[in-house]
Amino acid sequence: MTTNGLDSVGAEEMFDQDGAIFMGARRDPSDCQVGVFGVPYDGTTSFRPGTRFGPAAIREVSSGLETYCPQLDRDLDTLAYADLGALNIAYGAPEPVVQAVEQATARILALGLKPLMLGGEHSITSGAVAAVAREHPDLVLVQLDAHADLRQTWLGASHSHACAMRRCLEVLPSEDLLQIAIRSGTADEFSELHRSSRLVPLHQLHQRLSALRGRPIYLTVDLDWFDPAVMPGTGTPEPGGFTWPDFAALVDALQHHNLMAADVVELAPQLDPSGISSVLAAKVTRSLLLLMTQ
């Protein structure tokens, strides 16, 4: 059975393709390099809900951006990438959602595409990491986030978004996790960060990444890494964050690496009536698309 270029039984039930599409994307993944998909889930949100609306908001505002990126001197118009739609999920407990994300990511990889996931809350990342790490056991996970996300459980849930990196470490054979400029967490989490040398100050980013040249990288971007002044539309804002030039420095560093997969999570668009948070998230997505197709 073939549906929209996805060759597998039940493929037509995996993605909902109603609604907006990310700028310039195709629906058919044939001859594409990247497969974008959304996961509209926020079932474990612990403070302000609404990230289920993030993937649609990113798509809807993306048409307001130029396809050309001056920083990378590359244009999306010259590239082939697919927007496969929103993953069909059952709202409720996170475990079935994480499993569905893993299955969808594996299917995208089987098509020869690099997966780029739009969230949704951060709990979904471990499913995508598990699928990518099966194909690339030496995978390195790079995390942009305000929070360490290393709790074993939070509010009784082991797959809470507050446990995202703990669950990722359990499915990451290399255990190579770089947590970039984390600024919030428990005393126990920060003690572990310092013991493990996972915590990377922004000024050490190029140095730490240079030691990983040639390794496949998964980049997870929790948008609360940005300062609330530029990203108010997120469920757990944390003062003291970063701005676009800081993210641009990471983009510069990643040009010399193999960005195999990525996600952009924790946009809650209704918390920012100005819409600027959604635009920033869409611009992050554009940069990742360009890096993944270079």
Residues (pLDDT < 50) of the chain are 1-5, 8-11
The CATH number of domain 2-292 is 3.30.70.2190: no
At 294 the pLDDT is: 82
At 6 the pLDDT is: 59
At 7 the pLDDT is: 52
At 12 the pLDDT is: 55
Compute the distance between CA of residue 293 and CA of residue 48 in angstroms, rounded to an integer: 34
Compute the distance between CA of residue 239 and CA of residue 229 in angstroms, rounded to an integer: 8
Q: Which of 144, 132, 115 is nearest to 265 (CA)?
A: 144
Instruction: Compute the half-sphere exposure of residue 249: CA atoms within 13 Å on the CB side of its CA.
Output: 14
At 4 the pLDDT is: 45
Q: What is the mean pLDDT of the chain?
A: 93
For residues 147 and 222, the answer to whether their CB atoms sit within 8 Å is yes
pLDDT, one tens digit per residue, over 79-112 is: 999 999 999 998 888 899 999 999 999 999 999 9
Report pTM.
0.94
At 158 the pLDDT is: 72
At 117 the pLDDT is: 98
